[in-house]
A and B are shown apart, each in its own frame.
Chain A
């Protein structure tokens, strides 16, 4: 099985293969953040920290214990989720931008701590040996991508997912309906971290080298841009956003030095022309249904309750 897949992968140009895998990892991370920011409405500016924790945990598990990769990823996910729950419990009491800055601060602290730990090889970064599996990494990544998409879709349509959406819509109203807001917030935070941790583990083993500085503020911003560009709360949107933004630096490569300049300009333009994201307020199933001439369900939960976290102070008075 492994040999066959390896051979199959061999037909693909390694450069394209790398882009494809990067897109896959981007999708995983964006879906994770989408649970926290899109579905539950909690703005997190430190998602890369969980990716970092996942990457280093997974790398250490491989180096020290040579653990089978599937088990490794699962354990990594749980450890990352545990850390997130621990962090989330106190800081999720904060709201809005205070929460955002706290997650940002947490991410910086994680980065600096990893830069000073022996087990992460300090500022030199860690070389990660090949994963303990016969299946080639690109296949593993995309299997995880599909699994994540399926899981997240189920969550969106479950009781749990509806509770999260209620929290996003109005915390006080949700609480009055008997939803334990804190519990659901922490759970969604942990779930997002679980997915990010797995994404980090895949990233570590695909890249073969990780450095704490790779998971700084800019990485968090990258992931957030994917989610917002795609449209908050939309799974299809996150997938599209992650695909575009993961591939964009590669397609802009012909511009060499101007690449990041264009990327920055692109972010501004996309937000101006499509402020709710590419798929904001709509979903893939609805688009298919509409194309078939049928009505979308419930006008997608009252247009995502006018989407987004509402602007405090302004507008609602």
Chain B
């Protein structure tokens, strides 16, 4: 029972973590809460659906297509809606992000209708594996495996490549990074691309897990992933992973203990409690007050 719920929680949590990474990376670099991120995740799920149902491609190819499309979408949104606001107040950029979010979800509703759609059957053959007392589906294992691979490659990109170094420098200090000859615009675009690709992967996996893709799936998932990012300490990549997993596990545990009607509140209750004890999140850097 415990093991079973733990696996369920980790599978759900890794999808939260995938979305949360995008929030945290964008925040780390330009301190913007990118509210359109949940919508990118939704678009990713739809592109995956389109690719498997109409183009009839393999599941993994579909996920790659979704990731590439969302990468371009993320860079495009940054170029159109955020870059002109880089020098103005943070709240303006926030409202702009909310505008993009409303735009995308309405567009999806118009294009695909208000009903939830499922992935075609047999896209990924689901088998149940019994380990001890727990029944684990191959789908859950796939989700955990793909998330792990993506997160490890992200860590690699951020810590071992030149562009990753540029990203870290930019998030440390935007202006100094620019003075050191880093093309900050390019770095920011790249960050949006990376985050969006991860969100798209999360969208395809969740679409497969719940077998439901709808125009408004981005809102709640986005808010929860944002909560996960803050829980782990916003701006911190390992924090986002930890936060996502923690939220997923507690949410599943809450439902298992019979609080299913409070499901959506559990994540936020944990968040508020943790922030009260540790105001910068679990792995967040201390904010130094400058006088």
Contact = CB atoms under 8 A, between A and B. Distances in A.
B92 A268 contact: no
Contacts of B81: 268, 272
Contacts, number: 156
What DSSP secondary structure best describes chain A's contact surface? helix
Nearest to A113: B265
B96 A272 contact: yes
Contacts of A113: 262, 265
Interface centre among A98, A268, A276, A307 (most CB of B within 10 A): A268
B96 A97 contact: no
A261 B106 contact: yes
A275 B89 contact: yes
A146 interface: no
Contacts of A277: 92
Contacts of B31: 97, 311-314
Interface string A228-260: 110010000000000000000000000001101
Interface of B: 27, 30-31, 33, 80-81, 84-85, 88-96, 98-104, 106-107, 110, 173-176, 219, 223, 226-227, 230, 234, 261-265, 267-269, 271-272, 275-276, 279-281, 287, 289-291
Given A264-B100, A315-B174, A317-B176, 19 more contacts: A43-B91, A97-B27, A98-B275, A98-B279, A104-B226, A105-B227, A105-B269, A108-B268, A257-B110, A258-B110, A260-B106, A267-B99, A267-B102, A268-B100, A268-B103, A272-B81, A276-B89, A277-B92, A314-B30
In the A-B complex, the 9 residue pairs with the closest CB atoms: A267-B99, A264-B103, A275-B88, A105-B268, A264-B102, A308-B89, A112-B265, A268-B99, A260-B106
29 contacts: A91-B272, A97-B27, A97-B230, A97-B234, A98-B275, A98-B280, A101-B230, A105-B268, A105-B269, A105-B272, A109-B265, A112-B262, A172-B289, A218-B219, A225-B95, A228-B95, A264-B100, A264-B106, A267-B95, A267-B98, A268-B80, A271-B93, A272-B85, A307-B89, A309-B91, A314-B30, A315-B174, A315-B175, A317-B173
